[in-house]
Structure formats: structure tokens, C-alpha cells
Amino acid sequence: MKDRLKKIMEEAMEQIEASQQLDKLNEIRVVFLGKKGELTSILKSMKDVDPKERPKVGQMVNEARSQIEEKLEAKRAVFERALREEKMKRETIDVTLPGRRPVVGHRHPNTITLEEVENIFIGMGYEVVEGPEIEYDYYNFEALNIPADHPAKDEQDTFYITKDILLRTQTSSVQVHEMEKGKLPIRMIAPGRVFRSDEVDATHSPTFHQIEGLVIDKNITFADLKGTLQEFAKRLFGEETKVKFRPHHFQFTEPSAEMDVSCFKCGGKGCRFCKGSGWVEILGCGMVHPHVLEMSGIDPEEYTGFAFGVGLERIALFKYEIDDMRLLYENDTRFLKQF
């Protein structure tokens, strides 16, 4: 047993001394001191040793273990010191070199545009309201005068989670939540992310942002709608901007319209940007349908209102003359630095 212990000790010391890597030391520890290691196997064979000799052999095994552990720790300290010195050499700072400027982020064009739109409407006395992106079918469709069997539901290519729960296709649902609170009058805009099952191309994305607006009060007319949106367009695109309204149809407004603004690139003369028409379509709007007011508990005989909706990306694309919507989502710093 003594000869076996001596041989184990010599092998362990030789291997430790010859090791060139920290990982090798861990392997040596397992081979000699692990649960299935050489010293452990000796302890397991103690039953075959003369009972009178067992204390002496046990003491020898413990001494061998201590010596191997001391040698391992000493070698480990050498490796760690060498690694630390090497790291210090690599991390030496030359104080004579010029400093490195940190890379500073920049606001996204969507963020810049949204803040500008919000500031315009806040200046008009509007409140900015947010709502859930995961919405009930009732708030996304039915409460906006789009019943279950209406074809308008098919036009929006909705992402359904369950039969009654979906990813909202428009932030108009936020307007319904506000109307149900019954706190009148209402002057609000609801910016937020919306989702539609669209193919990705230069003008479409399955996720984008909308800004919906709503005003509910007594004696609100279409003239109020036109004046508000005209002022909005002038502040956003410049005082020389002109607007025109074209009849349209939206299920939750009556009458409904789409608003165009004079092309801010050519001043209405006609160019590639406006496809030669001199006008650019910018948003949809209309007077809130009486049935929508009724479903939210508002008396349409006493109160009227108008609503409008505009795509945030649409404004950003026009305002900064960007040809491809995908550029807004690629996080290319060369693109973002231009703003």
C-alpha cells in the first residue's frame, strides 16, 4: 500500500509539474482526487488492510492528498499570475493617444415625426392616450360599426389569437375605450403600433404605427374637422401647404373623406414624388357615425364628433422623402445618421 501511494504521489507531482494549461490541472485533480480517483480507490480498499495498519494508511492517504492539493494550488497560482500579467499588458493604456469617441445613438425618424405630431395636437388642446395592442374583437371591429359578417373585416387581414382576441389592426379601438368612460368632451390622439397580415415590400409591413384622432363635443361639424386638419398640415409640412378633401367611405364615420396635401417637394406643380398630380394622400377622416356614439353610451342627438387616422410611417416617408418603408426597420446606422 505504501509503495502504491508513493507511486501515485510521484505520478501526480510529475503531471502537475509538466502541465502547461489551467484546464490540465483540473483534469489532474479529477484523476487523483476525484470520486473515482486514485486516492479514493485506495480508501475504498481499506477493508483489505490489517485493522492495526488502517489508521497509519489513512494518515498516509490524507498526507498524500494534502501534498497533491498544495502542489495543484501552487501551480494554479503560477498560471493565474501569468494570465493576469498578460491581460495587464494587453490592457495597457497609452495616455498620449487621442481619446475614442463613444458611439452615440440617434432618435429614429419615426420617433422624431411622432413627437412633432404630438406637439402639434397638444398645442391644440388634445390629450395623448394609449391602449392595449392585444384587443377584443368587439373594440377593434364591432364597436366601430363593423359587425361580424361585414366584408370590411376581411379587408384588414387580421392576426387572431383566439376567436374573440386579436392583435389590433387600428388604434381606433383606443377611441372606443375613451368614449366608454363617459368623460366628455373628448379631444385626443392615440398613437401606437398596429398589426396586419401584409407582405413586406416598399410600402407595406405586418407591423406599423398609426395615429388616430377623436373629438367629441356639442355642435362639432365637418368644418371643425377641415379646419383642424388644415392647421395640422400647415404646421407639419409648412405654411404654404394646401389641403383638399375627397369623398370616401369608412364604416365608423359618416360622411367620410380622404385628405390630400399639396406636394411639399414641388409645391403642387407635379413631380416624381407626387406622380405628377401635385397632391399626396395623407390621411382618412370623417364625422363619427351616430351608431358608434350610441354603442359607447353617448347621445348622438346631443353630441357629435369627428375622427381621423394617419400612418406614422406614411408621414415620415413623405416628410423625409424616403422611397422604401423597409429602411425604417433595418437599423442601418448610415441611414439613421441622416436624421
Q: What is the C-alpha to C-alpha distance for residues 228 and 226, in angstroms, rounded to an integer?
A: 6
**Interval 208-234 mean pLDDT:** 95
Q: Maximum Cα–Cα distance for the chain, whole Å?
A: 112
Phi-psi group of 102: left, alpha or beta (phi > 0 → left; psi -120 to 50 → alpha; rest → beta): beta
> Chain-wide mean pLDDT for the chain?
86
**pLDDT surpasses 80 at 156:** no
Give the pLDDT band (50/70/90) at residue 154: low
Provide the pLDDT for residue 55.
Answer: 73
**pLDDT surpasses 70 at 276:** yes
Q: What is the C-alpha to C-alpha distance for residues 33 and 39, in angstroms, rounded to an integer?
A: 6
Give the pLDDT band (50/70/90) at residue 47: low
Counts for the chain of helices (H) and strands (E), in that order: 12, 10
**pLDDT surpasses 70 at 49:** no
Contact 145, 176 (CB under 8 A): no
Nine-digit cell string for 337: 445618421
Q: What is the C-alpha to C-alpha distance for residues 219 and 27, in angstroms, rounded to an integer?
A: 86
**Interval 3-16 mean pLDDT:** 77
**pLDDT surpasses 90 at 27:** no
Strands of the 159-160 sheet, one edge to the other: 134-136, 165-167, 159-160
- Among the residue ranges 85-99, 253-267, 311-325, the one predicted with the least confidence is 85-99
- Among the residue ranges 126-130, 217-221, 334-338, the one predicted with the least confidence is 334-338
Nine-digit cell string for 94: 497609452
Q: What is the C-alpha to C-alpha distance for residues 329 and 29, in angstroms, rounded to an integer?
A: 53
